[in-house]
Every structure is written in C-alpha cells, then in structure tokens.
Structure 1
Amino acid sequence: MKLRPILAAGLALSLGLAALPATAQAPAAQPTQIEAGQTRAKMLLDRDVYSSDDVEIGEVEDLILNAQQQVVLAVIEIESRLGFTEKYVAVPLAQLTPSASNNDRVTLAMTRDQVRDLPGFRYQD
C-alpha cells in the first residue's frame, strides 16, 4: 500500500518537522569559553564605581541592552553619603574600566563633578 509514505510525510509536516536535505551542514560550534575582548556582566554588576579623580561615587546597578541585545549603558546608583543626590545615572558602557588589581572596583571616565551634573535615569517598566 502506498499510503504509508504519504502518511509519514503528513505526520512529519503536522509536527513541524521538515525533511533534512542529504547535504545538511553541521550546526556552528557553540562557544566554550570567554573570548578575548569579552567581559562577564558579573564582573561589572554591584561593583564600586570610582570617578576619574579617584572618588567612590556608587555602584553598577544594572546594564541596559539595545534592540540588537548589545550592552550599551551601565546604570550607576549614586551614593548620597558623599554629598551627591541619591539617584541613578546611565553612562555608556565604554566609559567604565574594570580595575586590573581590584575585582570589586571599576573606574568611570568622568570626574566627581561631571557625575554630579548628569541627569537622573528613571526606569519605565
């Protein structure tokens, strides 16, 4: 009976399965380690942020991704104990540099006064 191949093809299509061509390519290799130039988000989140004039100004609270899922902004929680108004500010990720000698610290390429003048960042959930 010739219905079996037709039933099998119909079942495969109904399950969303497509016949694979005989020359199917192997899937791309999945990464197995962090590549040169990449940084883990964990290495930035909750790290103390120091200004370029070596004043502790707060900590990295969040990372913001663009539509292409690339991290573009770091949200910093500014601490009020240092004479700042307690607020969040967003800075381009490229302005943060992790410390080579202290894993709990990143440096922002701005002075304390420049940070103080930044507009507040508000989440709109």
Structure 2
Amino acid sequence: MASKHITTALLSVALMTGGAFAQTDTSKNSSGTSAATTEYSAYKLVGVDVYNNSNEKLGEVKDILLERAGRASKTILSVGGFLGLGEQYVAVPYDQLKWVDEPARTASGSTTTTTGSSATGSSRKWYPDHAIYNTTKDQLKAMPEFKY
C-alpha cells in the first residue's frame, strides 16, 4: 500500500517538473544574448523594409523560403515599382540579411520607424524594425526575377 503512495508521489513530482522544462528558455546562450531576443516570428518578417548600407530603401520582405529541414534559406524581396505596379521579386540568401531592431537612420541623421510601434518596457516585438542587405538598387534590379 505504501509503495502505491510513493509511486503516485514520484509520478506527480515528475509530471510537475516536466512543465518547467517546456517553458521558454530566456537564459544566456553562448554568444551572451538572451534566447528570447534572437528569435523572430516569420509571419511578422513579411512586410519589413530592407535597406542597404547607405540607408537607401531597397524594398520589402515578401516571403521566406524554408529548406525541407526547416532552416530559412532564401528571402523573397519586392523591389522597384510604385504602389505594387512594376515591382519584381528577387530571391536573396536569408543569412545575408542583417536584421536590425533599431529604426533606420536617414541621411539627416534622424530615425524613422518602418514597421510600427516600438518595444516598450518588458514587452517584446517579434519582428525587427528593418533589415540590411549589402547591395545597391541597380544590382538588386539586375538580379534574376523570382517566380513562384
């Protein structure tokens, strides 16, 4: 009879601690940053503006392509055009984009918010403010067009 109570108690403790292991890990990773700050929602990345190193707007993220293993491989950017007319899609390697959480700087030195409200207090955005891709507008427009 006592063994049933001990077994039940041990099973209860095991089930209660299992929930703790499933929680989000906000501890520091090997690079010293919090795991929660290194993740973005792919859904929220669509629409993020992309700039080059000279702070010229190149376009915006239209899609993220995944390999079968689940790793992000390509980012589809919408470039050129005006109000959706004349734009084309190009595929760039996902790992060549630099995701930036701070607003883009303009030539005058002021900042512009490109994707809406900023994170305040302990709440966290699940998307970056913008991305940087090291190229020019002309080089991007000269890339082969991506077709779905």
TM tier relative to shorter chain: 0.5 to 0.7
| 3-state SS in 2 of match to 1:68 | coil
Relative distance call for 1:62 and 1:48 in structure 2 (3 A) is same
Cα distance change, pair 31–75 in 1 and its aligned pair in 2 (3 A): farther
Counterpart for residue 32 of structure 1 = 24
Q: CA deviation at 1:105?
A: 1.7
RCO higher in structure (CA 8 A, sep ≥6):
2
Please state if 1:45 is matched with 2:46. yes
Structure 1 49/80 Cα, relative in aligned 2: closer, same or farther at 3 Å? Answer: same
Which structure has the bigger radius of gyration? 1
Inter-partner Cα distance in structure 2 for 1:41 and 1:31 = 20
Q: Which amino acid aligns with 1:101?
A: E
Name structure 1 gaps, 5 residues minimum: 1-25
Higher helix share: 2
* Paired position in structure 2 for 1:111: 136
Paired with 1:101 and 1:69, the residues of 2 have a C-alpha distance of: 27
Gaps of at least 5 residues in structure 2 are: 1-14, 27-34, 104-127
Say what the alpha-carbon RMSD is for the aligned residues: 2.6
Secondary structure at the counterpart of residue 47 of structure 2 = coil
Matched, 1:63 2:92: no
Paired residue total? 96
Distance in 2, matches of 1:66 and 1:95, equals: 16
Task: Label 1:97 to 1:31 Cα distance change in 2 as closer, same or farther (>3 A).
Answer: farther
> Percent of aligned positions with the same letter in both sequences?
28
